Structure 1
Amino acid sequence: MKIIISNTSKEPIYEQIIKQIKELVLKGELQESDSLPSIRQLAKDLQISVITTKRAYEELEKDGFIVSVVGKGSFIASQNKELLKERRLKIMEEKLIEIIEESKIIDLSKEELIEMVLILYGDDVI
């Protein structure tokens, strides 16, 4: 498991960890029952505070992404694929709303925005 921390990001370190672990689960790179590094080991590997790593793991457990077993460690929890997809769709919708608002600010037409999406997605045009 590779986690990269950006010191220049405005996002707190614990949120960067949470986001990256969730992405690994959503992509299927981390599967149910896979073990995570211990809180201390991850803190050491990332050269961050144990408190920061502990907070990230607690949030991941609260969100149902991991389970912690006393004396054994933390593991990827069983995931409902449809629920994961819904969570991801909600995030995408929020980003799309932001993009639509930005496009309206610069008077980009709906057609121009759709064309841009198609090009970026890899399709030529409608």
Structure 2
Amino acid sequence: MINIDSRSSKPIYEQIIERIKENIIKGILKPGDKLPSVRELASAITINPNTISKAYNELERMKAIEVIRGKGTFVSENFKPVINEEKLMTIKEHMKEIIIEAHYIGVNKDKLIDILNEIYSEF
């Protein structure tokens, strides 16, 4: 379910958040699905439970998941995306970096759009 790259410069809790969000977008996790408990997931991927808890707390803050006391953690059934201007600016900055790198390896705008469409269709 979740693969962590221990060599990545990205913090582990952020990788967990990304993988869970990706699994939701791809339909691997559906609204109402129960997520493993903090301890179960920590044991399965051999990560400190505090790291899992931090990721779950952030996902709950985003309203992507919800914790029901005594029952567990579930994919939110009422999630409604809301544009976050700060996050949008971060995405634009990342896209700018990608465009610059693409230019320097000879990838033109049309090819870049094809790549974006290819990746988008995976979701």
Q: What is the one-letter code of the residue matched to 1:73?
A: G
| Residue aligning to 1:66 | 65
Does 1:117 pair with 2:112? yes
Amino acid of the structure 2 residue aligned with 1:114: K
CA distance in 2, matches of 1:116, 1:99: 13
Aligned ranges 1:83-94 → 2 under 5 Å: 83=81, 90=88, 93-94=92-93
**Alignment partners' CA distance in 2, 1:56 and 1:18:** 6
State the TM-score, normalizing by the size of structure 2: 0.76
Q: Which runs of 5+ in 2 are unaligned?
A: 119-123
Q: Work out whether residues 102 and 112 of structure 2, in 8 Å CA contact, stay in contact via their aligned partners in 1.
A: no
**Aligned residues between the structures:** 112
User: 1:5 is paired with a residue of what secondary structure?
Assistant: coil
Distance 1:103-1:62 versus aligned 2 partners, 3 A rule: same
Q: Runs of 5+ in structure 1 lacking a partner? A: none
Which has more radius of gyration?
Answer: 1
Matches within 5 A, 1:88-107: 90=88, 93-102=92-101, 106=104
Q: Alpha-carbon deviations, 1:7-65, whole Å to 9, x = none?
A: 10111111110000001111122111000000000001111111011001000000111
- SS of the aligned residue for 1:25 comes to helix
How many Å separate the matches in 1 of 2:70 and 2:105? 58
Offset of residue 116 of structure 1: 2.9
The ranges of structure 1 where at least 4 consecutive aligned residues each deviate by more than 3 angstroms after the TM superposition are 90-95, 101-104, 118-122
Tell me the CA shift for residue 107 of structure 1.
Answer: 9.7
Higher relative contact order (CA 8 A, sep 6+): 2
